[in-house]
Each structure stands twice: as structure tokens, then as C-alpha cells.
Amino acid sequence: GHIFNMCSIASLIAYPNGGSYTISKFALLGFSKVLREEMKDKGIKVTSILPGATWSASWAGVDLPKSRLMQPRDIARAVWCAWQMEPSAVVEDIVIRPQLGDL
């Protein structure tokens, strides 16, 4: 099996006015690391996904060029690559950020 947890770049970097979100994402990353250690002997992989700003409906109406955000398909491609690894390998963390930097 393989568990993918959708964390965030906010799991690594604190953002002003984002306390609750950042705290929850830090916690999810920590949980993922513990779960990985507890599940590896059972053959279950755990991968944390830490994307930066990615286009979704939550960005609708924001005065920002859509080209400034990553596309969901790029996150999906990275997950697919991690999922295809041999049983002897695991991608522990996937960090993907917009080419022009975080928002």
C-alpha cells in the first residue's frame, strides 16, 4: 500500500496571518513522518506532498495571473512517479514550488 498525505509548503515555512493553516500542515507533516516509521515494516509507504501555490477554486477571484500558480496536473504527475517506485524504494517528501517562487 501507499499513503499520500497532502501537506503544503506551509508545512515548512510559517506564513503571516496563516496560523491555523500552518499549524495544521506542520502537524500533518509530523504525523506523516511518524506513520512512515510505523508502517514501513508492514510494507506500506507514506509520502508527504508539499506543494506551493497550486491552481484550485480557492484562488478564484484573486487578482493574480493564473500563470503564477502551478497546475494540479504537475502535482498529480509527481505523485504518479512516486507511486510507481519499486517496493524497495519510497519517495518520502515531494516539495514542488512555483518556478517564480512562493506567493
Distance CA 43, CA 63 (A): 45
Of residues 86, 10, 93, 11, the one with CA closest to residue 46 = 93
Region 6-23: what's the mean pLDDT?
Answer: 93
What residue ranges define each of the domains in the chain, with the CATH number in brackets? 2-96 (3.40.50.720)
Residue 65, pLDDT > 90, answer: no
Whether 15 has a pLDDT exceeding 90, the answer reads no
Q: Which of 93, 90, 46, 52 minimizes the C-alpha distance to 72?
A: 52
The pLDDT tens digits of the residues spanning 20-43 come to 999 999 999 999 999 999 999 999
What pLDDT, on the 0 to 100 scale, is given for residue 103?
Answer: 84
User: Which residue shows C-alpha cell 506500506?
Assistant: 44
- Say which residue, 89 or 14, is predicted with more confidence: 89
> Model confidence over 69-82: pLDDT tens digits?
999 999 999 999 99
In order, the DSSP letters of 52-101 are -SB--GGGTT-SS-GGGSBPHHHHHHHHHHHHTS-TT----EEEE--TT-
